[in-house]
């Protein structure tokens, strides 16, 4: 069999986005090894960006791919006529997530520039590895989004996590970065153990790791193949998989790593993992729960467990966020809380699937996707503003060995609206969106998942969600109040901003001052794109939801 025949027989073309991204990662890695430092710094981001762009373009012809006869699927072993036995599927659901990951990647690349040019001790940070790892991590996320087999989910999650472990510790001489990497690694690997053991038990109980096969046996135990374990193993498997995915999605009580890792990791990396890794975990949750376990008795217990986790996640995240003084840490707890709101949508999808309301399930799942998109935009935007402020202020001193120097505190924002009106305005938009106040995407995100919950009669959950939203207003408004209403403190920690600040007319940030103090234009572009998108998603909420409905999961576990 020639390579070409092999490629045709196995539908390799549907892997185009992943392949392009992996090859670009390799190219970046090789260029990083051979080119001089300065050249790398100048053109590697563009090479990486080009790869992202080509990968995004290669997705376009794949849209609606699985309406075609071959179904846009890959098999483990020989081809089969039954698409349900595919381990890898390129449906609109996965393509939506691939767009999301590529966008996250593009934003992360554009805000990483300054972090990479900073000197770490006596030498520069390595550049090639950084972009290559970001891209390989995104490939892992894409694998998770397309997986229809528990083992492929496992491999995808490991691909994305292992790259992220390294990225979290990328500022090698900084102690907090080391600490973030160690914590992320140990707890992430611990979670992997649970996930894998859950998969093994599910395999024993159902005779397969295919989600479609798990679904069949979970719904009807008598269909289990000979030699399969009892149903108890399926329950345990479900619980362990839930623990494993819960760690990755930072659900309470598996969230302990989140604040430290988000705070200690370099800020661009934090943005990438806060959005990408969480979205990937939710892609897996949406595929595994409503679909594979949705119709089984195990799901009744699973549903209750997820319900408790949703309540805990929202409440804990919001309440602890109140007392945070570090902005990154506050955003970490806010990210935990948002995972809770997202779980409401997952639960609504789950109960709609169970009660056979296909259209409602479709809309509930589309609501989750809308929320994820909004979450991605507002978090990437907020972290981009933090990067911008860090860059503006970090010029006074080299990145040091303790966390205080680059970690933005609430007090650092005092009077920012006068010094940096545009950055303050952008941060305000993102914080309002995170709080769920119109006219921002965050408002409709909450509306859609809450509405889906109401349709499914999850009233208690709805009330908890609403109360939590109110709690969250408090801590999201603190930075806004500091920026607009507080006078400047006696000794603003980020005094560099004043130098980096605006020209006398108060508008031109990019101008000479911006470049001179190391704020790169790409960061501003990223912030602008996110801010405009957050507002546009509010204005175009109807068409957006209709479009996302095409990508939402159908009861068959395939996104159309």
Partner 1 sequence: MPIPYYLAISGILFTVGVVGVLVRRNAIIIFMCIELMLNAANLAFVAAAHSLGKMNGQVFVFFVMTVAAAEVAVGLAIIVTLFRNRETIDVDEVNLMKH
- Residue 43 or 175: the one with the smaller Cβ distance to partner 1 is 175
Stretch that binds partner 1, among 193-201, 358-366, 440-448, 539-547 (CB under 8 A): 193-201
Tell me the sheet residues that pair with 123.
Answer: 120
Give the C-alpha separation, 184 to 16, whole Å. 31
Work out how close the CB of 137 gets to partner 1 at its nearest, in angstroms, rounded to a whole number.
12
Q: Tell me if 239 contacts partner 1 by CB under 8 A.
A: no
Give the C-alpha separation, 255 to 272, whole Å. 17
Work out how close the CB of 207 gets to partner 1 at its nearest, in angstroms, rounded to a whole number.
5
For the chain, the helix, strand and coil percentages under 3-state DSSP, each to the nearest 5: 75, 0, 20
**Interface with partner 1 (CB under 8 A), residue from 63, 75, 76, 547:** 76
Stretch that binds partner 1, among 255-263, 362-370, 373-381, 547-555 (CB under 8 A): 255-263
Long-range contacts of 416-419 (CB under 8 A, 24+ apart): 416/389, 416/482, 416/483, 416/497, 417/483, 417/484, 418/488, 419/488, 419/497, 419/498, 419/501, 419/502
CA distances from 31 to 41, 116, 125, 549 (A): 11, 16, 15, 41
Residue with tokens 């408004």: 477
Contact 93, 366 (CB under 8 A): no
Q: Tell me if 550 contacts partner 1 by CB under 8 A.
A: no
Stretch that binds partner 1, among 44-52, 158-166, 345-353, 448-456 (CB under 8 A): 158-166
**Interface with partner 1 (CB under 8 A), residue from 38, 61, 123, 175:** 175
Work out how close the CB of 437 gets to partner 1 at its nearest, in angstroms, rounded to a whole number.
29
- Residue 100 or 191: the one with the smaller Cβ distance to partner 1 is 191
Q: Tell me if 406 contacts partner 1 by CB under 8 A.
A: no
Contact 346, 368 (CB under 8 A): yes
263-282 mask for partner 1 (x: CB under 8 A)? xx------------------
Contact 391, 383 (CB under 8 A): no
Stretch that binds partner 1, among 272-280, 350-358, 398-406, 454-462 (CB under 8 A): 398-406
Residue with tokens 């589309």: 366
Q: Return the residues of window 277-336 that contact partner 1 according to CB under 8 A.
A: 329
Stretch that binds partner 1, among 106-114, 179-187, 439-447, 493-501 (CB under 8 A): 179-187
Burial 440-451 (b: 16+ CB within 10 A, else e): bbbbbbbbbbbb
Which pair of structure tokens corresponds to residue 489?
Answer: 């403190």
Q: Tell me if 463 contacts partner 1 by CB under 8 A.
A: no
Q: Is 120 helix (H, G, I), strand (E, B) or coil?
A: strand
- Residue 200 or 437: the one with the smaller Cβ distance to partner 1 is 200
Work out how close the CB of 360 gets to partner 1 at its nearest, in angstroms, rounded to a whole number.
36
- Residue 232 or 358: the one with the smaller Cβ distance to partner 1 is 232
**Interface with partner 1 (CB under 8 A), residue from 28, 160, 176, 312:** 176
Give the C-alpha separation, 464 to 375, whole Å. 20
**Interface with partner 1 (CB under 8 A), residue from 63, 197, 231, 484:** 197
**Interface with partner 1 (CB under 8 A), residue from 182, 493, 510, 525:** 182
Give the C-alpha separation, 435 to 475, whole Å. 9
**Interface with partner 1 (CB under 8 A), residue from 189, 239, 493, 510:** 189
**Interface with partner 1 (CB under 8 A), residue from 97, 101, 130, 165:** 165
Stretch that binds partner 1, among 7-15, 197-205, 293-301, 356-364 (CB under 8 A): 197-205
Burial 56-77 (b: 16+ CB within 10 A, else e): bebbeebbebbeeeebbbbbee
Q: Tell me if 162 contacts partner 1 by CB under 8 A.
A: yes
Total site size for partner 1, rule CB under 8 A: 47
198-237 mask for partner 1 (x: CB under 8 A)? -xxx-xx--x-x---------------xxxxx--------
**Interface with partner 1 (CB under 8 A), residue from 183, 215, 287, 478:** 183
- What backbone torsions phi and psi does residue 558 show, to the nearest 5 degrees? -120, 140
Q: Tell me if 190 contacts partner 1 by CB under 8 A.
A: yes
Which pair of structure tokens corresponds to residue 187?
Answer: 């707890």
Which pair of structure tokens corresponds to residue 21?
Answer: 């991204």
Work out how close the CB of 2 gets to partner 1 at its nearest, in angstroms, rounded to a whole number.
25
**Interface with partner 1 (CB under 8 A), residue from 18, 120, 129, 260:** 260
Give the C-alpha separation, 178 to 165, whole Å. 10
Alpha-helical runs (H) found in 88-149: 92-117, 128-146
Which pair of structure tokens corresponds to residue 505?
Answer: 């007319």
- Residue 198 or 294: the one with the smaller Cβ distance to partner 1 is 198
Which pair of structure tokens corresponds to residue 70?
Answer: 């071959």
Give the C-alpha separation, 260 to 179, whole Å. 8
Work out how close the CB of 202 gets to partner 1 at its nearest, in angstroms, rounded to a whole number.
10
Work out how close the CB of 375 gets to partner 1 at its nearest, in angstroms, rounded to a whole number.
24
State the residues that interact with partner 1 by CB under 8 A: 76, 151, 154-155, 158, 162, 165-166, 169, 172-173, 175-176, 178-179, 181-183, 185-186, 189-190, 192-194, 196-197, 199-201, 203-204, 207, 209, 225-229, 259-260, 263-264, 329, 401-403
């Amino acid at each position: 069999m020639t390579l070409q025949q092999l490629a045709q027989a196995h539908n390799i073309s549907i892997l185009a986005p992943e392949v392009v991204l992996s090859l670009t990662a390799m190219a970046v890695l090789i260029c990083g090894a051979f080119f001089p430092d300065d050249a790398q710094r100048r053109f590697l981001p563009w090479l990486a960006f080009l790869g992202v762009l080509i990968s995004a373009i290669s997705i376009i012809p794949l849209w609606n791919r699985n309406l075609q006869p071959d179904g846009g699927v890959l098999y483990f072993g020989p081809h089969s006529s039954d698409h349900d036995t595919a381990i890898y599927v390129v449906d609109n659901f996965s393509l939506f997530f691939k767009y999301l990951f590529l966008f996250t990647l593009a934003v992360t690349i554009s805000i990483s520039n300054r972090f990479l040019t900073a000197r770490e001790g006596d030498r520069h940070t390595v550049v090639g590895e950084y972009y290559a790892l970001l891209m390989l991590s995104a490939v892992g996320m894409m694998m998770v989004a397309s997986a229809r087999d528990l083992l492929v989910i496992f491999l995808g999650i490991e691909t994305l996590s292992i790259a992220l472990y390294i990225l979290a510790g990328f500022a090698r001489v900084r102690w907090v970065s080391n600490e973030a990497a160690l914590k992320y690694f140990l707890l992430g690997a611990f979670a992997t153990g649970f996930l894998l053991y859950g998969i093994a038990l599910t395999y024993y109980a159902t005779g397969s790791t295919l989600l479609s096969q798990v679904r069949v046996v979970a719904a009807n135990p008598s269909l289990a193949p000979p030699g399969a374990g009892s149903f108890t193993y399926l329950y345990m498997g479900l619980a362990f998989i839930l623990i494993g995915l819960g760690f990755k999605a930072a659900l309470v009580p598996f969230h302990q790593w989140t604040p430290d890792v988000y705070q200690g990791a370099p800020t661009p990396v934090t943005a990438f993992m806060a959005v990408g890794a969480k979205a990937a975990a939710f892609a897996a949750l949406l595929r595994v729960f409503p679909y594979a376990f949705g119709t089984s008795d195990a799901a009744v217990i699973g549903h209750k467990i997820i319900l408790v986790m949703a309540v805990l996640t929202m409440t804990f995240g919001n309440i602890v966020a109140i007392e945070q003084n570090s902005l990154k840490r506050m955003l970490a707890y806010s990210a935990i809380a948002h995972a809770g709101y997202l779980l409401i949508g997952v639960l609504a999808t789950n109960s709609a699937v169970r009660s056979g309301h296909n259209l409602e399930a479709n809309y509930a799942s589309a609501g989750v996707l809308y929320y994820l998109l909004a979450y991605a935009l507002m978090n990437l935007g907020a972290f981009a503003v933090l990067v911008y402020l860090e860059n503006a202020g970090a010029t006074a001193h080299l990145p040091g060995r303790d966390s205080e120097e680059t970690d933005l505190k609430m007090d650092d924002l005092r009077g920012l609206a006068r010094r940096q009106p545009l950055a303050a305005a952008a941060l305000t938009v993102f914080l309002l969106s995170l709080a769920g106040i119109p006219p921002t995407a965050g408002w409709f995100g909450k509306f859609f998942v809450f509405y889906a919950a109401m349709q499914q009669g999850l009233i208690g959950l709805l009330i908890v969600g609403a109360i939590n939203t109110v709690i969250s207003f408090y801590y999201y408004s603190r930075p806004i109040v500091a920026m607009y209403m507080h006078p400047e403190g006696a000794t603003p920690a980020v005094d560099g901003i004043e130098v980096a600040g605006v020209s006398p007319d108060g508008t031109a940030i990019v101008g000479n001052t911006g470049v001179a103090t190391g704020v790169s234009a790409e960061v501003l572009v990223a912030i602008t794109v996110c801010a405009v998108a957050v507002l546009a998603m509010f204005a175009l909420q109807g068409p957006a939801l209709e479009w996302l409905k095409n990508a939402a999961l159908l009861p068959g576990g395939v996104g159309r």
